[in-house]
Chain A
């Protein structure tokens, strides 16, 4: 059987949630995730909106028969990969902060 889940009292959860370390973790996460999320949503929806409402513009040929619409669509793949890569890099930092909080929580609980 896997280990029992970590259990503790309401008061300790509240204390952890209000601790400076946890607030720092949340702030660090927010600093990356919120702008990244907003950027990718805007970048992505620019594609259907431009394709749908400005098809002539998007049909502009760029290289040979390859048009703006296809290049912009293709760029979405690289956009997604780049954001994923940046997130993984940023998340190493989240892991480090979270590890400290977990270690501290184990001592708060004591013994186990």
Chain B
């Protein structure tokens, strides 16, 4: 059976490398490399946004949480879609109208570019790298499980890393976009098939399906048989702190998505703000449909496969592939696993290009060299080199951590930083005339430090493990958590805003206020926005 997943992996890799080769000839020049010449169509970008966004955490992670903890897992699905209303109503169009390649372009408009871009690049690299490491550890574990006889964890991680480097270095944003489009279509098709098979198992009776969810049977840690109604809220988020954690998670999702650099850069690949808007709507249709189908994936795995079997066959993250195996055998298992692999590759490629764009455009060209390329093509050259470096660093860290590493908190961290550091400064820069450089720098700094600091002292990193837990699976700090919530959003988002506001009020920058009218007109009308072109 190993040869079938191997064949499917190789087929996907061959197709994406073909696209990269095609794209490489069209990715000369900064506009082409960083923004696919701004010629991606609305529906294409919508599918690519969906492909960029629906990570292994969505596909494997949510299915796993629902399979083990029922309804509470579905709340992730809800938050991950509703978050796009913030993107649609507040962020996408002003960003497309006023920016060029990165979110920092909008901030730098009326603020002092060097300090603001330096901080924004730091925040972007933090979000992207942490998120990427979480994906790579997941990919390594997945590939190892599927192709155990052929590759080990380290080889799997290295393979994923090399592929993402190749896509980004040679194919730029154009190749990344098409890898994301193909992945999104595969993911939607696979999830749809799986949902149909789940319903076929219940003879297409929703009544039977939902009543099966009413009594999921499994054995707890002590070996006692438990029967639970998985539709009940509160199986994961239990008192005393669960309810607050749930609200905090919601805040990070709703306000974090609009600050994720790899999502924001996608809006520069379309010709104008109207297309950016339409692409958000396309993305919302796909993402919403997908997340509604997590009902079938998660509850299907809980009722048809059962938590006991999943626990002994690869753990929570294998819920969706194991469901496929139970319903339609090994070939379908291989197909779903190959989709999971494609999912991870497309997301890491998106993360890599946003990280390298920020490093090269924000930090190298604008911070170090004051906004001028010393020779033509330098910015793209630096981006290609930094893609190598980012990829190598991510491979190294993922190998050091190993397949059992406790990395789920990295995803929470990425959303928390995006919501607490990036979003406040983007919003204030677009909407608040008084806002200035000091405010942006303190807002980014406080948001970043508050998210990281609170996660370090949260139950994600601080807990006392029993001696049976070994290596990197152990919590980093063996002590009782100082902050009771896994998601810092409820505290770190207000802190980010307060940092930005206090920093602003403590200093005076007339030039920032004078240029507010220009940014206001540009971001709301699209006057003088970057246009589509071959360069």
* A95 with B274, Cβ < 8 A, contacts A17-B521, A45-B250 known: yes
10 intermolecular pairs with C-beta atoms under 8 Å apart = A13-B521, A17-B518, A48-B75, A48-B250, A59-B232, A65-B211, A65-B214, A65-B229, A73-B74, A84-B284
A51 proximity list for chain B (CB < 8 A): 72, 75, 233-234, 237, 243, 246
A66 to B230, CA, bound (A): 11
CB atoms of A55 and B535 under 8 A apart: no
- Complex CA distance for A51 and B285, rounded to whole angstroms: 25
0/1 string, A1-12, CB within 8 A of B gives 1: 111011100100
Q: By DSSP majority rule, is chain A's interface helix, strand, loop, or mixed?
A: helix
- Chain B residue at minimum C-beta to C-beta distance from A22: B521
Segment with Cβ contacts to A, from B85-93, B154-162, B320-328: B85-93
Q: How large is the interface on A (under 10, 10 to 19, 20 to 34, 35 or more residues)?
A: 35 or more
Nearest 9 A-B pairs (CB), nearest first? A52-B243, A6-B528, A2-B533, A17-B517, A13-B518, A51-B233, A65-B214, A48-B246, A98-B525
> Counting CB contacts under 8 A, is B530 at the interface?
yes
Nearest chain A residue, comparing its CB with the CB of B532: A2
A102 CB to closest chain B CB (Å) equals 5
Which residues of B are at the interface with A, using a C-beta cutoff of 8 A?
31, 71-72, 74-75, 77-79, 81-82, 84-86, 88-90, 206-207, 210-211, 213-214, 229, 231-234, 237, 242-244, 246-247, 249-250, 254, 274, 277-278, 280-281, 284-285, 288, 291-292, 514-515, 517-518, 520-521, 524-533, 535
CB pair B85–A80 under 8 Å, yes or no, is: yes
A52 touches B244 (CB 8 A): yes
Contact, CB under 8 Å: B231 / A66: yes
Within 8 A of B (CB), among A57-109: 58-59, 64-67, 69-70, 73-74, 76-77, 79-81, 83-85, 87-88, 91, 95, 98, 101-102, 105
Q: Are A64 and B242 in contact (CB under 8 A)?
A: no
**Shortest distance from the beta carbon of A106 to any chain B beta carbon, whole Å:** 8
Decide if B210 touches A10 in the complex (CB within 8 Å): no
**A102-B526 in contact (CB<8A):** yes
Cα(A3)–Cα(B530), bound, Å: 8
